């Protein structure tokens, strides 16, 4: 990982919010940047400030990651540019309505950005990272992916995918020198709320984006696989993950569990 000190960082969703703060923090660490988002003007303003304040080189790739052609251009940059050693998969979207009120096109767009684009960008860069024996991927997931009770069904499902993908990649790539981190923000004050149709004034108190990213980077420096900046007690995650792992030996049984055999007994049918 020491080689990453001299590597460039590609950040998606870099024009505002979490992505812009990641760009700021990595620039202040001396990393050159590749910024990816739809809003060229805002990226140029951010790039100009970071060049002036830190002296790093900043490239801009204007791209809508839900557009197959524009996504392909970013994929190619990741495959070809050996200077890029860190990928921050931050771009994401949500909608304020319930599942039944979301159109198929709206659902497809969320999945396209939150899952398909993130996965394709990761797929593009991983072979090169493996060959180099070094590299890092930061995937912005969400605590919503652990809590269907929050009601953001499609958004939460996409973030659960990002969490699972990160855990799987950690097992596949960790021993090959590639570090993969999932960051699970809780409510954070970014523009995603307003873009999704939420009234910011009606929301409960939210974490400031600078605090979120700074905490996430502490987890990055510690090489955590899962970073939940708002979780006070790390042992709660450890307990959760240990409980999950304890079930694994019981998953691959050749017979159905005895508790399901009860339904076939005569007295069980009578009771029903």
- pLDDT tens string, the chain, 272 residues long: the values are 567 989 999 999 999 999 999 999 999 999 999 999 999 999 999 999 999 999 999 999 999 999 999 999 999 999 999 999 999 999 998 887 678 888 898 899 999 999 999 999 999 999 999 999 999 999 999 999 999 988 889 999 999 999 999 999 999 999 999 999 999 998 766 666 566 555 666 666 789 999 999 999 999 999 999 999 999 999 999 999 999 999 999 999 999 999 898 765 555 455 54
Helix (H, G, I), strand (E, B) or coil at 188: strand
Other CB atoms within 10 Å distance of the CB of residue 235: 10
End-to-end CA distance of the chain: 60
Q: Under CATH, what is the fold of the domain 2-242?
A: Rossmann fold (3.40.50)
Task: Give me 205's structure tokens.
Answer: 């108190």
* Residue whose entry in the numeric block shows the structure tokens 């973030």: 159
Q: How many residues does the chain have?
A: 272
Q: Do residues 217 and 25 touch, judged by C-beta distance below 8 A?
A: yes
Q: How far is CA 138 from the centre of its chain?
A: 7
Helix (H, G, I), strand (E, B) or coil at 129: helix
What are the angstrom distances between the C-alpha of 134 and each of 6, 101, 173? 12, 44, 10
Asked about 179 being catalytic, the answer comes back as: no
* Residue whose entry in the numeric block shows the structure tokens 């396209």: 112
pLDDT at 197: 56
d(CA 41, CA 29): 24
User: Annotated catalytic residue: which of 22, 40, 155, 179?
Assistant: 155
pLDDT at 272: 46
d(CA 17, CA 11): 12
For the chain, what is the radius of gyration of the CA atoms? 21
pLDDT at 125: 98
* Residue whose entry in the numeric block shows the structure tokens 């450890």: 238
pTM summary value: 0.90
Give me the residue spans of the domains in the chain: 2-242
d(CA 196, CA 14): 17
Helix (H, G, I), strand (E, B) or coil at 139: strand
Closest-CA residue to 135 (of 125, 145, 150): 125
* Residue whose entry in the numeric block shows the structure tokens 């001299």: 6
pLDDT at 191: 63
């Amino acid at each position: 990982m020491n080689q990453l000190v001299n590597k460039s960082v590609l950040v998606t969703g870099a024009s505002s919010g979490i992505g812009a703060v990641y760009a700021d923090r990595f620039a202040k660490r001396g990393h050159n940047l590749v910024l990816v988002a739809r809003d060229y003007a805002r990226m140029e303003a951010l790039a100009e400030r970071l060049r002036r304040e830190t002296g790093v080189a900043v490239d801009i790739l204007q791209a809508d990651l839900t557009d197959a052609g524009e996504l392909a251009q970013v994929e190619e940059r990741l495959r070809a540019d050996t200077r890029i050693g860190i990928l921050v998969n931050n771009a994401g979207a949500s909608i304020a309505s319930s599942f039944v009120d979301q159109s198929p096109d709206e659902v497809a767009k969320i999945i396209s950005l939150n899952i398909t684009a993130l996965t394709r960008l990761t797929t593009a860069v991983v072979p090169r990272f493996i060959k180099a024996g070094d590299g890092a991927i930061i995937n912005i997931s969400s605590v919503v992916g652990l809590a269907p009770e929050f009601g953001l069904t499609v958004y939460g499902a996409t973030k659960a995918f990002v969490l699972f993908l990160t855990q799987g990649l950690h097992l596949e790539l960790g021993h090959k020198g590639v570090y993969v981190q999932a960051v699970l923000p809780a409510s954070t004050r970014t523009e995603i709320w307003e873009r999704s149709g939420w009234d910011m004034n009606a929301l409960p108190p939210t974490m400031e984006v600078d605090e979120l990213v700074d905490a996430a980077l502490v987890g990055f420096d510690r090489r955590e696989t899962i970073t939940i900046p708002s979780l006070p007690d790390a042992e709660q995650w450890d307990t959760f993950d240990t409980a999950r792992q304890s079930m694994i030996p019981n998953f691959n049984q050749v017979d159905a569990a005895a508790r399901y055999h009860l339904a076939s007994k005569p007295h069980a049918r009578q009771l029903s």
